Amino acid sequence: AAPDAPLLQVGAITKTFGGFTALDNISVDIRKGERFGLIGPNGSGKTTLINCISGALRPQTGNVIFCGEDITQLPPHLRARRGIARSFQIPRPFKSMTVLENLMVGLDFAKVDSSLPEEDVAMSILTRMGLASKASAPTGTLSQVELRKMELARAMAVRPKLLISDEAMAGLSSSEVDEVLDLLISLGEEDITIIMIEHIMQAVMRFSERVMCLDAGKIIAIGAPAEVMGNKRVQEAYLGT
């Protein structure tokens, strides 16, 4: 691929369930390092689109190009190995295991090759995510915000090029939302591309360089956050729910 080629190219994807069209001819390019917000009312097709990108679903038509390679027919685990991470694809944490042990399970899952001992790799990820002091704490003792950070740490363990954050902020206080956002933004600064599905609009506004709004399987707006939020069709789509 050309150096300035998009990291991810979604090309004219249509996904139907029976006679119902969940995604209708969706095309979008996402550049390397971009922080991309995906919004839309319930049932608009956000999860279906993410499933087509991560491989949980295959579209009837269209294709998904990642790093210049057509991955449309690849199963999820092979997409994960190419660098697409979605936190809940990784087996759930065991409450009695420590934070460090949980992260090491994530490393095993991703079959991450490293010259460093696995524990050192896991510790360096925890440090980066602000969880180093919790390494030996049982996961069951973590607060909500610490759990969200651990989920992100587990996704980071697969060393993703593309991280999909699916409602990571739900149920957090506004200062905790800011904490998780700062973390996500710092990952973006390291050239990790992030797609964030989020219902908390202030979080979407603060996080995203670009926002795309779906409604009934179609793109109704895409562009700068303020522009998309101010869009009449976007406002109507949310009013209707």
DSSP secondary structure of 97-115: SBHHHHHHHHHHHHT---S
Residue whose structure tokens are 């449309």: 72
Query: Is residue 25 involved in binding ligand ADP (CB under 6 A)?
Result: no
> Cβ-count burial of 222 within 10 angstroms (0-12 exposed, 13-18 middle, 19+ buried)?
middle
Minimal distance, residue 27 CB to ligand ADP, in Å: 17
Binding ligand ADP (rule: CB under 6 A), the pick from 30, 37, 46, 184 is 46
43: contact with ligand ADP by CB under 6 A: yes
| Contact residue for ligand ADP among 42, 96, 136, 175 (CB under 6 A) | 42
Q: Does 4 bind ligand ADP (CB under 6 A)?
A: no
Question: Which stretch in 40-48, 75-83, 137-145, 231-239 sits in contact with ligand ADP by CB under 6 A?
Answer: 40-48
Radius of gyration of the CA atoms of the chain, in A = 18
- Smallest gap from Cβ 47 to ligand ADP, in A, equals 3
CB of 24 to ligand ADP, least distance (A): 11
Q: Does 161 bind ligand ADP (CB under 6 A)?
A: no
Q: Is 240 in the site for ligand ADP (CB under 6 A)?
A: no
Are the C-beta atoms of 70 and 14 separated by less than 8 Å?
no
Cβ 79 vs Cβ 51: under 8 Å: no
Question: Is 184 within 8 Å of 194 (Cβ atoms)?
Answer: yes
